[in-house]
Chain A
Amino acid sequence: MVIAAKDLTLAYGDKNIVKKVSLDVGPKTVTALIGPSGCGKSTLLRTFNRMNDFVPSFRLVDGKIMYRDLDVYSSDVDPVFIRRRVGMVFQKPNPFPSSIYKNITWGPAINGYSGDFDQLVESSLRRAALWEEVKDKLNSSGLALSGGQQQRLCIARAIAMDPDVILMDEPCSALDPASTARIEDLIGELRERYTILIVTHNMQQAARVSEQTAFMFQGELIEHSATKQIFNAPKQKLTEDYIMGRFG
């Protein structure tokens, strides 16, 4: 187990968004979180690195989030410490409005990285399959890249922190099919080094990139097992209906 939710109930104000969810994510796997809009999958994802802290009405009602042996929401764990190890890629590409080089080096720099920055930039961009496209323009703005390139830059930026876990919140929903395919290939390569948790609306994408799939509906975790099992022989009727496209 690298990250886990234990009997987790989350709320915005008085409305429970995630109800009694327990989920274990093992090391170096890709786990897909699927479910219809508003089912709580993004809210769940954002608790693993405490990004929900910035939503004023967010409350952890009950249960625990564990990162290895740390209770993520206990008062003696610093969220900054968690976020440095549990990286995140957002729905909309959000590079900093500065050079490609600085986009990669800023995170490591503020976290006291003492290695060689040039090397770090090259290795991160190579792992994000972006190096060949940008190696001659590292000093130009990250915002000058195409949407798909920007998203790979954001992945490179997360990788540069040498994270343990990478959380991806619908990373392809703002991208065209060709860029989506590149990111999916990339996720296939990243699974060898990182534990990845990806929220997606696209069931084909979940089937292609993940080993484990968790299906959520109205805040509850309906089914969690191997992706093949979920897509070929789901145990729950609700899961089957969703995967067959009968609702959602």
Chain B
Amino acid sequence: MDSNLDKNPPTSMREALLDSPFKDNLDRRKFNARVFNFVIFLATLLAMIILGILLWRIGEQGLPWLNWKFISSFPSRIASRAGILSAIIGSASVISLTAVIAVILGVGAAIYLEELSPKNKFNQFVELNIANLAGIPSLVYGMLGLAVFVRFMNFGRSILAAACTLAIMILPVIIISSREALRAVPAGVRLAALALGATKWQTTWHHVLPAALPGMMTGIILAVSRALGEAAPLIMVGGVTYIAFLPNSWYDSFTTLPIQIFNWAGRPQEEFQAIAAAGIIVLVGLVLFTNGIAILIRARLEDKHRW
């Protein structure tokens, strides 16, 4: 908190100021500052409490079921034998392929729009539509994936089709946040490189992109985490809930953690509610793990680029 809040000018000085056209109203302003500090503190606290309650409820239900057998077994009709191995492997394969596709396309599009494209009507139209795409419900992307990737491109109900669908879904967020990161790179760096006889591409590749990467990573982390937790579009694309084998190729059928959890949570038996909770713990763990790695990479990149 601001230490100035507790200091007051001496009385003599206050009296000298009485005739001044400035009514500094210090007490009132300091009171407002305190109120505002308290309100935003409450907002933070509320978010933490809600998250805490959720985690506690899930932990209470799911932790007793969470053991190595649960993680290393395939799903089953019988709750006590059911495991989550195929969903973990499915999620991991879908999300890694999603990340590769989305990052290459998203960062590429951002570089084109921000650094290379002429500022004309067509590009403004593209920009506007990217912003709109970010607001479309994920189920619609699922229908798109079913029509385009599963049927038209004939990928079938496969890991590949799922990854393409999720990649398209998170593409707008990655493009928008990557453009913000590119825009935050000081103009002086671009001009310096160009003035040395570099081409636009050399300038972007050697200087602008490395400087923008940490900022891009933030958007990529958020987008990939969202994809990791999505069930709806994958159900459209044909994620199956009973998979008793591990995938051998990108064309194999798949299940993922959110699909598996969704399926278990929808069953009437109480044990399945509990193993759904255990599945959620695994999903949260997986999200934390991938985010942790990404944040470490970002911190290392940031060390290299301090302005």
A residues contacting B by CB (< 8 A) are 49, 51, 54, 56, 80-81, 83-85, 87-88, 90, 92, 94-97, 106-107, 110-111, 141, 143, 154, 157-158, 161
Do residues B197 and A96 form an inter-chain contact, with CB atoms below 8 A? no
- B contact face: mostly helix, strand, loop, or mixed: helix
Which residues of chain A have C-beta atoms less than 8 A from B186's C-beta? 94
Residues of A within 8 A of B192 (CB): 90, 94-96, 154, 157
B: which residues have CB within 8 A of A?
Answer: 119, 186, 188-199, 202, 206-207, 211, 304-307
Q: Check B194 against A54 for contact (C-beta < 8 Å).
A: yes
Q: Chain B residues near A87: list those with CB within 8 A.
A: 195-196
State which of A107, A143, A157 has its C-beta within 8 Å of the C-beta of B307.
A143
> Shortest distance in angstroms between A30's beta carbon and chain B's nearest beta carbon?
19
Bound Cα distance A158, B191 (Å): 12
Known: A107-B197, A107-B198, A141-B306. 6 other contacts (CB 8 A): A94-B189, A94-B192, A97-B304, A97-B305, A107-B196, A110-B202
Bound-state Cα–Cα, A116 to B202, Å? 22
Q: Determine the distance from Cα of A80 to Cα of B201 in the docked complex, in whole angstroms.
A: 12
The docked-state distance in angstroms from the alpha carbon of A157 to that of B189 is: 13
A110 contacts B198, C-beta separation under 8 Å: yes
Which of B119, B189, B192, B194 counts the most A-chain CB atoms under 10 A from its CB?
Answer: B192
Minimum CB–CB distance from B50 to chain A (whole Å) comes to 40
CA distance A141 to B186 in the complex (A): 17
A54–B191 contact, CB under 8 A?
yes
* Smallest beta-carbon distance B175→chain A, Å: 21
User: Which chain A residues lie closer than 8 Å to B206 at the CB level?
Assistant: 106, 110
Contact of B197 among A94, A95, A111, A154 (CB under 8 A): A111
Max chain B Cβ within 10 angstroms of own Cβ: one of A94, A95, A111, A158 = A94
Given contacts A97-B305, A97-B306, A110-B206, contact A92 B197 (CB under 8 A): no
Partner of A84 from B119, B197, B207 at Cβ < 8 Å = B197
A157/B191 contact (C-beta < 8 A), A94-B186, A97-B307, A143-B307 known = no
> What residues of A have a CB within 8 angstroms of the CB of B305 in the complex?
97
Query: What are 27 A-B contacts with C-beta separation under 8 Å?
Result: A49-B195, A51-B191, A51-B194, A54-B190, A54-B191, A83-B197, A84-B196, A88-B191, A88-B195, A90-B192, A94-B186, A94-B189, A94-B192, A95-B192, A96-B189, A96-B192, A97-B189, A97-B304, A97-B305, A97-B306, A97-B307, A106-B193, A107-B196, A107-B198, A154-B192, A157-B196, A158-B195
